[in-house]
Amino acid sequence: MNAIISASELENELADGNPPVLLDVRWQLSTAKAAGAAPFDGGAAYAAGHLPGAVFVDLDRELASAPGGRGRHPLPDVAEFGAAMRRAGVSSGRPVVVYDGGQGWAAARAWWLLRWTGHPNVRVLDGGLPAWEAALSTDVPAPAEGDFTPEPGAAGLLDADGAAALARSGLLLDARAGERYRGEVEPIDRVGGHIPGAVSAPTTDNVAADGRFRPADELRARFKALGATEDDEVGVYCGSGVSGAHEVLALAVAGIPAALYVGSWSEWSSDPGRPVAVGPDPQ
């Protein structure tokens, strides 16, 4: 099954007798806002207009636990995540389509979590809300309670030790911007740099100018050049397990399974005892 869906395909499915559950996961990284501006409010953006029938899901509260020693967006409590998904109408036997404001990172986080907890049919709207040309709605749906029961482990998950080992024995990709990987700047976490052995692979290079993913063959060629094929053990990390999920999604589009280190750099760099590499080379 394809991990992404186009806006035209989604329109057709919504007109069918068994339309997918729609989840609106609009979110922005807090440091991306202009200085002095109010934090982005995904709920307010949803209220101003969303895909008809979509339910808003809050990334910080429902797709992550509180920030702390496990990173800025650690895994949510599984029971609480399951309850949030059921409130949104998610059931195991019904497809789910997730979208965000166009960047794709937040939608990919929801996609990854649902896959990791065993949902068999989840896709991301390619290009997000900007790709949707039909009318939006301000009606807030009241979906029937879903029956989804999360069963973690269906998709790859790495912890800090697993990420370090994979950087030595397989391929660990760093999905952050190159300047953060190199340690030239670090706007959020304690220190800049990367996990020793990790390869720089900014997730922004996986999409075209309009925010849609590049064709699968282009993505396969990109990842092959970085050392990844469907036969390799591949892992991904980022700052806090959000943009890294987007890279895992891009790898899935390319037909390459990959695990996600959810704690990512925000967890790794919080421990002064963990090694840090800087510069353009993995080591």
Active site residues: 238
Burial-class residue 216 by CB neighbours within 10 Å (0-12, 13-18, 19+): middle
- CA distances to 29, 31, 34, 187 from 37, rounded to whole Å, are 13, 10, 5, 17
- Using the structure block, give the residue that is written with the tokens 């890279």: 247
Q: Give, in degrees to the nearest 5, the angle at Cα 5 between 150 and 208.
A: 115
Residue 105 CA to its chain's centroid (Å): 5
Tell me the C-alpha distance between 73 and 71, whole Å. Answer: 6
Task: Evaluate whether 54 touches 22 at the Cβ level (below 8 Å).
Answer: yes
Give the pair of three-digit tokens for residue 232. Answer: 């390799």
